[in-house]
Structure 1
């Protein structure tokens, strides 16, 4: 993380926003992947 501080100070706000959004998207994508992996089991329970 210490390596990012000089880069952020040079480039500024867009880098911070991009990193934050990438982190948020990653957590949501993990939830989507988990839901897709659980889908066959849920389908079997319904039938």
Structure 2
């Protein structure tokens, strides 16, 4: 158990940061997908 705590403290932080960044990227990608899906309708309105 005493060996496990330093491993978690060394590896845990990068894992948390990676998960946070993946979450942020996922929300941005959702916005991009939604914009691409709305693009044909906007182009029709323009013409």
Return the TM-score normalized by structure 1.
0.77
Q: Which runs of 5 or more residues in structure 1 are unaligned?
A: 1-8
Return the TM-score normalized by structure 2.
0.77
The structure having more radius of gyration, on CA atoms, is 2
Cα RMSD over matched residues?
1.2
Runs of 4+ in 1 over 6 A off after TM superposition: none
Q: Which runs of 5 or more residues in structure 2 are unaligned?
A: 1-6
**How many residues were matched structurally?**
39
Q: Which residue of 1 aligns with 2:4?
A: none
Measured against aligned partners, the alpha-carbon deviations of 1:9-44 in whole angstroms (never above 9, x if no partner) come to: 722211010000000000000000000000000000
